[in-house]
Structure 1
Amino acid sequence: MRYTMANVPTEEVAEVLGASVGAAGVRIERIVSPLGHSSPDEGWYDQDEAEWVTVLQGSAGLVYDDGREVVLKEGEYVTIRPHERHRVAWTDKERVTVWLAVFWREGVTGCG
């Protein structure tokens, strides 16, 4: 399937992972978050991989277990180190949030 911003759902009940591709230790995913989505309170992400993530549409807030908060608007991005515990605090309440995430294992060159 060809993915474009035109065929992004306008409303979602649950987060949707899609348009995933990977090779040689790198994985790229498009993630569509529903209106006002957040991770469960106990739902910390603790990944073995590094992650670079940008918001293509909408906005979102991330919170880290050390108390830091990051707000991402369209076009803004953040790099999350392996095992840097974080969660989605909120996503845009007026339009679905579309993310592009690139994951890689340490030692893979050309990323970061």
Structure 2
Amino acid sequence: MHTGNLLAHIPSPLPAELFNDLVSTNHFRIERILSQGQHTPTGEWFDQDEHEWVLMVQGEAILLFLEPEAGAQERVHLGPGDYINIPAHYQHRVEWTHPSETTVWLCIYY
């Protein structure tokens, strides 16, 4: 058995975006991400082989999704308690995270 707290051990100020695997198996992974002003570099997109379920625990972020068939982009704002399920190979990027408040993400990859 392992216990922990998602809001523990958060450095202040955050020196860089931090990624911590909380649970990892052959079929899924649970990760905590800490951000403070970080975003995906311009022109880069995530195109993952896994589905990703994201819960915003603390802070704020704006995600941008690319819908190539429709030739459109969709912005999604996430705040505390908001979640989103991102299908595998659905291109997306982090446009913005709060610059002065630590954003705590809980991500489940499956």
Q: What interval of TM-score do these two structures reach, taking the shorter chain for normalisation?
A: 0.7 to 0.9
* Identity, % of aligned positions: 39
Aligned length: 103
Counterpart of 2:49 in structure 1 is 48
TM-score by length of 2: 0.85
Query: Which amino acid letter does the alignment assign opposite residue 23 of structure 2?
Result: V
Q: Answer whether contact 1:11 1:95 (CA < 8 A) is retained.
A: no
Q: How does 1:83-98 map to 2 (within 5 A)?
A: 83-98=89-104
RMSD over aligned Cα atoms: 1.6
CA distance in 2 between partners of 1:90 and 1:42 (Å) = 14
Alpha-carbon deviation of 1:3?
4.0
Assess, with a 3 A threshold, how the Cα gap between structure 1 residues 15 and 92 changes in structure 2: closer, same or farther. Answer: same
Distance 1:83 1:4 in 2: 27
**Cα distance in 2, alignment partners of residues 81 and 4 from structure 1:** 24
In structure 1, stretches of 5+ residues that fail to align are 105-112
TM-score, structure 1 length as denominator?
A: 0.83
Q: 5+ residue gaps in structure 2?
A: 68-72
CA contact (8 A) 1:10 1:95 kept: no
Shift, 1:65, TM fit: 1.6
Alignment check: 8 A CA contact 2:6 2:32 kept: no
- Equivalent-residue separation in structure 2 for 1:46 and 1:88 (angstroms): 12
Indicate which of 68, 79, 87 corresponds to 1:81.
87
Distance 2:59 2:20 in 1: 17
